[in-house]
């Protein structure tokens, strides 16, 4: 952007285009469980992925060709719209069924990993973890950054949900009771990461893994409560492309300049990492920029040039 001018203040608003993919995960077919024994707590742990969403993230810039202007000057504004990547969002449920003595969730982690064909191995992508103060997890999470996890417990008699950041750790589950959480897991994917995950020649599987640890439980019997769900099919139902974007540059007086896929064919489709630029000239030094896309998430900010 050029040097700021008190005569050229532009208010910028745009509505981020999004592509939401939804589908129901395969039926739960396996449950992580282990007998309590010797007074140890035990649970049957499972999870579902009810929907997968890939929402493009947009960056918007506005520049002007002159550092200063007086009334009557023609200013050329350049608006640049970038598909900067995507937010991958998983929604579903965690279910912990207590099969023995009263149990308290002392630690948990949730992460996403993919199977690299080249490496012939699972590669952690992003994750989140939590544990009670003073408790040392038996299993170390493969990755603890890059994933935002929000969970809400469903009110159930005999279950008291944790009050910490993830509402999982600290949950007390009475004997023969079941705790259920509705969760949302969100990961930001750069254009490079998204392209990798969508390439069947490089990645053959992607899955979400959850792990709980409960107390009281003897160290000798471990903490085998882990559940995995693959979602490669849901992920590849789309590609994070922004479609049918519209850019409108509106001066304080006079007609607005509207750019659509008809006037600017490149706005019809903006792939992840793609950049689109439009220009318009005005006699005045004030302009309002509005960008609209496929769906409706609004962001507003002030740009001075």
State the Cα angle at 301 between 148 and 290, rounded to 5°: 105
Neighbouring-strand partners of residue 112: 126, 208
Alpha carbon distance 193, 229 (integer Å): 20
List of domains in the chain: 20-56+85-235 (2.60.40.10)
Among 304, 305, 293, 303, CA closest to 81: 293
Question: CB within 8 A of 11, min separation 6: which ones?
Answer: 288, 289, 300, 302, 303
- Contact, 90 vs 47, CB < 8 A? no
Per residue in 177-225, pLDDT tens? 999 999 999 999 999 999 999 999 999 999 999 999 999 999 989 999 9
pLDDT grade for 291, boundaries at 50, 70 and 90: low
Burial (0-12, 13-18, 19+ Cβ within 10 Å), 286:
middle
Instruction: Check residue 134 and report its DSSP letter.
Output: T
The pLDDT value given to residue 69: 75
> How large is the average pLDDT for residues 34-52?
80
Q: pTM (2 decimals)? A: 0.79
Mean pLDDT of 261-268: 94
> What's the chain's average pLDDT?
82
How far apart are alpha carbons 188 and 146 in whole angstroms? 7
Q: Determine if the peptide bond prior to 112 is cis (ω within 30°).
A: no
3-state helix, strand, coil in the chain (%, to 5): 5, 50, 40
% of the chain exceeding 90 in pLDDT = 64
Cα separation values, 268 from 78, 99, 259, 262, 291, Å: 19, 55, 11, 8, 13
Query: Can you spell out the DSSP letters for 95-114?
Result: EEEE-SS-EEEEEEEEEEEE
């Amino acid at each position: 952007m050029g040097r700021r001018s008190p005569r050229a203040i532009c208010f910028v608003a745009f509505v981020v285009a999004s592509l939401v993919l939804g589908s129901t995960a395969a039926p739960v077919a396996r449950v992580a469980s282990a007998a309590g024994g010797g007074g140890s707590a035990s649970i049957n742990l499972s999870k579902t992925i009810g929907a997968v969403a890939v929402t493009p993230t947009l960056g918007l810039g506005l520049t002007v060709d002159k550092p200063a202007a007086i009334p009557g000057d023609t200013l050329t504004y350049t608006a640049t719209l970038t598909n900067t990547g995507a937010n991958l969002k998983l929604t579903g449920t965690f279910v912990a069924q207590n099969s023995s003595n009263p149990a308290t969730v002392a630690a948990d982690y949730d992460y996403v990993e993919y199977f690299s064909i080249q490496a012939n191995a699972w590669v952690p992508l992003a994750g989140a973890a939590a544990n009670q103060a003073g408790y040392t997890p038996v299993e170390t999470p493969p990755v603890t950054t890059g994933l935002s996890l929000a969970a809400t417990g469903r009110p159930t008699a005999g279950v008291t949900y944790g009050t910490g950041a993830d509402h999982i750790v600290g949950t007390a589950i009475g004997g023969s009771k079941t705790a259920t959480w509705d969760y949302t897991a969100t990961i930001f994917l750069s254009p490079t990461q998204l392209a990798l995950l969508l390439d069947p020649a490089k990645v053959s599987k992607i899955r979400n893994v959850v792990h709980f640890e409960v107390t009281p439980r003897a160290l000798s019997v471990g903490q085998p409560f882990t559940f995995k769900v693959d979602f490669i099919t849901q992920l590849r139902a789309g590609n994070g492309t922004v479609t049918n974007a519209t850019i409108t540059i509106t001066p304080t007086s006079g007609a607005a300049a509207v750019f659509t896929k008809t006037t600017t064919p490149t706005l019809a489709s903006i792939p992840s990492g793609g950049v689109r630029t439009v220009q318009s000239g005005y006699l005045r030094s004030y302009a309002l920029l509005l960008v609209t896309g496929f769906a409706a998430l609004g962001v507003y900010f002030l740009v001075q040039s």
